[in-house]
Amino acid sequence: GAVVSQHPSRVICKSGTSVKIECRSLDFQATTMFWYRQFPKQSLMLMATSNEGSKATYEQGVEKDKFLINHASLTLSTLTVTSAHPEDSSFYICSAVRQGGGAQYFGPGTRLLVL
């Protein structure tokens, strides 16, 4: 089956630092990847849609300058949380859609804790 990986799986950082999270589709090419965020006991919230070779589309209320998304290849999208603050602590999950359409496959998620 389709596999999506994320790295790192867990990160703890100091307030003010930037954190980069990688999302890779391991055995298929993904023209579209999505980034979600989930706070404790809350639903997954779509942050942005990332299309290979073009700028990401951000959902309302998500700051594009704070959450930088790069989708440079068909198998890799990165999310950089710039100048992270404690309120950015969350579970960040990516998903990828196989080229040609189909189901979304989720990565295992990255737990970010900002101290």
Chain residues binding another protein by CB under 8 A are: 32, 34, 36, 41-46, 49, 91, 93, 95, 103-104, 106-109, 111
Using the minimum distance from each CB to another protein, give the nearer residue, 14 or 100: 100
What is d(CA 36, CA 62) in angstroms, rounded to the nearest whole number? 11
**Whose CA is closest to 84, among 10, 18, 36?**
18
What is d(CA 99, CA 32) in angstroms, rounded to the nearest whole number? 8
Helices (H) and strands (E) in the chain — how many of each? Answer: 0, 11
Using the minimum distance from each CB to another protein, give the nearer residue, 9 or 29: 9
What is d(CA 35, CA 69) in angstroms, rounded to the nearest whole number? 9
- Closest distance of CB 6 from another protein, Å: 9
Using the minimum distance from each CB to another protein, give the nearer residue, 17 or 103: 103
Question: Exposed, middle or buried: residue 42 (CB in 10 Å: 0-12, 13-18, 19+)?
Answer: exposed
- Closest distance of CB 88 from another protein, Å: 18
Using the minimum distance from each CB to another protein, give the nearer residue, 16 or 104: 104
- Closest distance of CB 83 from another protein, Å: 26
- Closest distance of CB 84 from another protein, Å: 20
